[in-house]
């Protein structure tokens, strides 16, 4: 099965572990993802606040770049997914808007026939095109005993994205079960991670993040599995700030569902893109005997500098 | 019936203007004031007005107060309200419209959220992709830097794990992208 692939900006660096693990898993499952040539940012949740037509055109350029022989575009990032899907849908529904978007695209020598491409989230492709049975058959190292909270977030299921329930999705639950994991009930599974609020009002964002961590803790989850780089960043990289803000002590690792798939398929921690999470996944993954990359172990042995300390010239390379 | 924003007649009231600037915005006429939107909103508690109130104010053409409200800026684009709205009102897109109008009118006093959007888009227009370190430094050095001390450890953590790019990587066809965006802005302005 062959798809055009739109990684999105996050997967280039801050969510490189998502990209690495997704590609490793795709390889195992015989999925071919052909990256769009010279794709651009989807505008996240920002461009629509500035200029409507430019925002749609920015997204539509990516749709226009899908090679003629491919009809499906895979997006691993939920924010990109919703922007691509929404633009595609609105171009079909509002011909006048589509005409204007195409006028803009044409200025750059491009054009897009509304609805030509079907936009799909990576999770949708994995559970529906590959299927749970094939996934189960690919498992060589079941995630037995690992308690996982399946966190979908918003944009993978809303607004009415169709492949799963918009308020209480189950596809990742079933996927994780097929991997042998113990999937805990997670009532807040489709609630918001705060999105860009960490940048605008940190107090609002921290409360939204706290709820999600607390809910996972209540169900004794060893880790949270997620489907979106924005969710991962907020829950992982801001977990320390949340702890400082509320005086809590959450230490819940946040991994991408593709990382857990890679581990269950018997791939190495490196192939699963492990080691770049801020909240260490080592204690949780010890339950399923994962050999973590070296840097994490060394880090453990070293006393961690106080979070409040001034940034000392500790070179990133020192730990690489 | 797909009624859309057209250029045919210029809208006469604030309410009409909001509708005309939002794909599918016609549905706003059908708002029942049921409050399902606010009840579903994760950041509703922190909004000056609930979405239901904002829509009543839009209907009443209270332009000034609507565009001064923090409500659109506290929308996190989670689409819960859109999913649940019995009248299928594109609430998230209406919030985007209100944000654009607030920027155009310069009425929203707290510039953090608009500036964040502008800084983000500045990066995209410059490089074609978002470039997180540049974005974060440019924004945070100009927005209460002293209140952002906790962010220092955030950036360090991210750098340590090799999760922040130190240099931007512009797309090859940045010229083409800018031409497209400029044309779009021109068309938007001509409406």
Burial class of A68 by CB neighbour count within 10 A (0 to 12, 13 to 18, 19+): exposed
Q: How far is residue A121's CA from residue A163's CA, in Å, rounded to a whole number?
A: 9
Question: Based on the structure, what is the number of domains in chain B?
Answer: 2
Residue A316: list chain B partners with CB under 8 A: 159-160, 162
Supply the pTM of this predicted model: 0.90
Q: What is the pLDDT of residue B134?
A: 64
Q: Closest to A204 (Cβ–Cβ): which among B46, B78, B180? A: B46
Based on the fold, state whether residues B96 and B146 are members of the same structural domain.
Answer: no
Output the tens digit of pLDDT for each of chain B's 191 residues.
445 554 456 789 999 999 999 999 999 999 999 999 999 999 999 999 999 999 999 999 999 999 999 999 999 999 999 999 999 999 999 999 999 999 999 888 777 888 888 888 888 998 999 876 666 666 666 666 656 556 667 778 888 888 887 777 789 999 999 999 999 999 998 65
Each residue of A120-169: pLDDT tens digit? Answer: 999 999 999 999 999 999 999 999 999 999 999 999 999 988 899 999 99
Q: Closest to B179 (Cβ–Cβ): which among A14, A39, A108? A: A108
Residue B133 near chain A (CB below 8 Å)? no
Q: How far is residue A90's CA from residue A102's CA, in Å, rounded to a whole number?
A: 13
Question: Which residue ranges make up each domain of chain A?
Answer: 2-122, 138-293
Residue B113: list chain A partners with CB under 8 A: 200
Residue B5 near chain A (CB below 8 Å)? yes
- Name the percent of chain A lying above pLDDT 90: 85
Q: Closest to B78 (Cβ–Cβ): which among A16, A158, A311? A: A158
H, E, C per residue of B7-20: CCCCCCCHHHHHHH
Based on the fold, state whether residues B126 and B144 are members of the same structural domain.
Answer: yes
Pairing between strand A182-183 and A147-150?
Answer: parallel
Based on the fold, state whether residues B137 and B182 are members of the same structural domain.
Answer: yes
Burial pattern B113-124, b for ≥16 Cβ within 10 A else e, equals bbbbbbbbbbbb
Q: How far is residue B178's CA from residue B191's CA, in Å, rounded to a whole number?
A: 20
Instruction: Name which CATH class applies to A2-122.
Output: mainly alpha
Length of chain B: 191
Q: What is the pLDDT of residue B138?
A: 66
Q: A119 forms bridges with which residues in the sheet?
A: A73
B94, B176, B184, B187: which to substitute to probe chain A, counting the most A Cβ within 10 Å?
B184
Q: What is the pLDDT of residue B161?
A: 85
- Please report, for residues A74, A83, A174, B31, B58, the alpha-carbon distance to residue A216 in angstroms, rounded to integers and kept in the order given: 29, 28, 18, 36, 39
Each residue of A163-216: pLDDT tens digit? Answer: 999 999 999 999 999 999 999 999 999 999 999 898 888 899 999 999 999 999
Residue B92 falls inside a structural domain: yes
Based on the fold, state whether residues B89 and B170 are members of the same structural domain.
Answer: no
**Do residues A59 and A83 lie in contact, with contact meaning Cβ atoms separated by under 8 Å?**
yes
Q: Closest to A199 (Cβ–Cβ): which among B139, B150, B159? A: B139
The domain A138-293: what is its CATH number?
Answer: 3.40.50.11810
Q: Provide φ and ψ at A75, rounded to 5°.
A: -130, 120
Based on the fold, state whether residues B59 and B135 are members of the same structural domain.
Answer: no
* Final residue of a structural domain among B54, B78, B105: B105
Nearest chain A residue to B187 by CA: give it: A100
Q: How far is residue A13's CA from residue B2's CA, in Å, rounded to a whole number?
A: 40
Over residues A36-41, the mean pLDDT reads 97
Contact B153 A95 (CB under 8 A): no
Q: Is the pLDDT of residue A316 over 60?
A: no
Residue A34 near chain B (CB below 8 Å)? no
Q: What is the pLDDT of residue A320?
A: 38
Residue B152: list chain A partners with CB under 8 A: 311
Structural domain boundaries, residue B88: 14-105
Q: Which two tokens stand for residue B144?
A: 């209460």
Note the ipTM here: 0.89
How many A×B Cβ pairs under 8 Å? 217
Based on the fold, state whether residues B29 and B94 are members of the same structural domain.
Answer: yes
Residue B8 falls inside a structural domain: no
Based on the fold, state whether residues B166 and B131 are members of the same structural domain.
Answer: yes
Cα A198 off chain centre by: 17
Based on the fold, state whether residues B95 and B118 are members of the same structural domain.
Answer: no
């Amino acid at each position: 099965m062959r798809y055009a692939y739109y990684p999105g900006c996050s997967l280039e660096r801050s969510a490189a572990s998502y990209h690495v693990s997704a590609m490793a898993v795709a390889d195992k499952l015989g999925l071919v993802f052909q990256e769009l040539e010279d794709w651009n940012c989807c505008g996240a949740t920002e461009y629509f606040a500035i200029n409507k037509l430019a925002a749609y055109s920015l997204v539509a350029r990516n749709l226009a770049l899908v090679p003629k022989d491919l009809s499906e575009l895979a997006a691993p990032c939920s924010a990109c997914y919703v922007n691509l899907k929404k633009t595609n849908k609105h171009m079909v529904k509002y011909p006048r808007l589509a005409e204007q978007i195409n006028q803009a695209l044409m200025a750059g020598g491009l054009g897009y026939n509304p609805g030509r491409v079907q936009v799909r989230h990576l999770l949708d492709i994995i559970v529906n095109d590959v299927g749970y049975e094939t996934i189960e058959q690919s498992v060589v190292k079941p995630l037995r005993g690992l308690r996982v909270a399946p966190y979908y977030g918003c944009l993978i299921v809303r607004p009415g994205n169709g492949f799963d329930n918009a308020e209480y999705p189950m596809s990742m639950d079933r996927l994780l079960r097929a991997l042998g994991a113990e999937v805990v009930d997670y009532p807040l599974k489709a609630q918001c991670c705060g999105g860009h609020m960490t940048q605008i009002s940190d107090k609002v964002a921290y409360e939204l993040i706290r709820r999600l961590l607390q809910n996972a803790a209540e169900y004794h989850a060893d880790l949270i599995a997620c489907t979106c780089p924005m969710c991962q960043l907020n829950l992982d990289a801001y977990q320390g700030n949340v702890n400082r803000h509320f005086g809590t002590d959450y230490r819940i690792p946040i991994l991408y569902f593709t990382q857990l798939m890679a581990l269950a398929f018997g791939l190495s921690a490196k192939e699963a893109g492990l080691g770049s999470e801020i909240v260490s996944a080592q204690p949780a993954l010890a339950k399923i005997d994962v050999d973590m990359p070296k840097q994490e172990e060394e880090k453990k042995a070293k006393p961690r500098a106080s979070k409040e300390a001034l940034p000392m010239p500790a070179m990133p390379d020192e730990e690489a | 019936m797909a009624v859309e924003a057209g250029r045919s007649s210029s809208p006469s009231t604030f309410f009409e203007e909001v509708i005309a600037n939002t794909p599918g915005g016609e549905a706003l006429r059908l708002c029942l004031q049921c409050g399902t939107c606010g009840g579903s909103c994760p950041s509703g508690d922190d909004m000056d007005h609930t979405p239901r109130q904002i829509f009543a104010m839009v209907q009443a053409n209270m332009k000034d107060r609507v565009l001064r409200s923090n409500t659109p800026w506290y929308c996190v684009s989670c689409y819960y309200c859109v999913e649940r709205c019995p009248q299928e009102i594109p609430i998230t897109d209406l919030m985007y419209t209100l944000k654009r109008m607030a920027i155009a009118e310069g009425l929203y006093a707290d510039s953090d959220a608009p500036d964040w959007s502008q800084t983000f888009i500045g990066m995209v227009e410059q490089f074609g992709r978002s470039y997180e370190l540049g974005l974060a430094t440019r924004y945070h050095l100009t927005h209460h830097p002293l209140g952002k001390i906790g962010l220092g450890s955030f950036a360090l953590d991210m750098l340590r794990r090799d999760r922040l790019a130190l240099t931007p990587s512009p797309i090859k066809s940045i010229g083409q992208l800018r031409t497209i965006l400029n044309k779009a802005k021109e068309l938007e302005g001509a409406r």
